[in-house]
Amino acid sequence: DLPGPLTNIVTVSGNDILRNPVTPVTATATVTLTYTSSISIAKTASSKSPLWITGEGAKLGDDIVYTYVVSNTGTTTVSRIAAVDDKLGAVTFDRETLAPGGTATGSLTYKVVQEDMGEELRATITNTVAATGTSIGRQIESKPATVTAGVYRDAISPVVTCVSDNG
């Protein structure tokens, strides 16, 4: 906790125009010190898949790059910035300590696999992340951020070959 309240006391003394001392006057001002310790996290997904660019999603075998940005939305410095994606694990950020208004960025890459699809031609991958940090000796946590990425695979077209003609 911050010390407080902060009190400033000033006393004015002096002489009048005849050089006689005047009664000193004292004024006091008190300010309550306040702060907020808070962080937020934003998460986005992108892929170089041609269909991702048109809004269709990533294809089986494509990489999805998840980008994470933690912002210090409070008025105190936050250290030990960390985040864990529920599907991809720990995120490594470009800095561990954030001044008020500062940001830290990290990314993780995921390759779309058959298990993401099941038997469907189209599916989604949804994952969530929250950030944590330490400020003024206390752990703080962001609200979670969730991203849902569309994924697809090509339809399976069976090839039938005639091996015998009983004609």
The pLDDT of residue 165 is 67
The pLDDT of residue 33 is 78
Q: What are the phi and psi torsion angles at 84 (to 5°)? A: -130, 120
- Quick one: CA torsion of 140, 138, 87, 50, rounded to 10 degrees? 50
The residue among 94, 92, 93, 83 whose CA lies nearest residue 127 is 83
Residues 142, 42: Cα–Cα separation, whole Å: 10
Count other C-beta atoms under 10 Å from residue 106's C-beta: 21
The pLDDT of residue 154 is 72
The pLDDT of residue 127 is 93
Which tokens belong to 98?
A: 């954030």
The pLDDT of residue 81 is 98
Residues (pLDDT < 70) of the chain are 1-4, 155-158, 162, 164-165, 167
Residues 6, 18: Cα–Cα separation, whole Å: 38
Residues 100, 136: Cα–Cα separation, whole Å: 13
Amino acid at 86: D
Q: What are the phi and psi torsion angles at 95 (to 5°)? A: -155, 155
The answer for residues whose C-beta is within 8 angstroms of residue 157's C-beta and 6 or more apart is none
Q: What is the 3-state secondary structure (H, E, C) of 40-93?
A: EEEEEEECCCHHHHCCCCEECCCEEEEEEEEEECCCCCEEEEEEEECCCEECCE
The pLDDT of residue 51 is 77
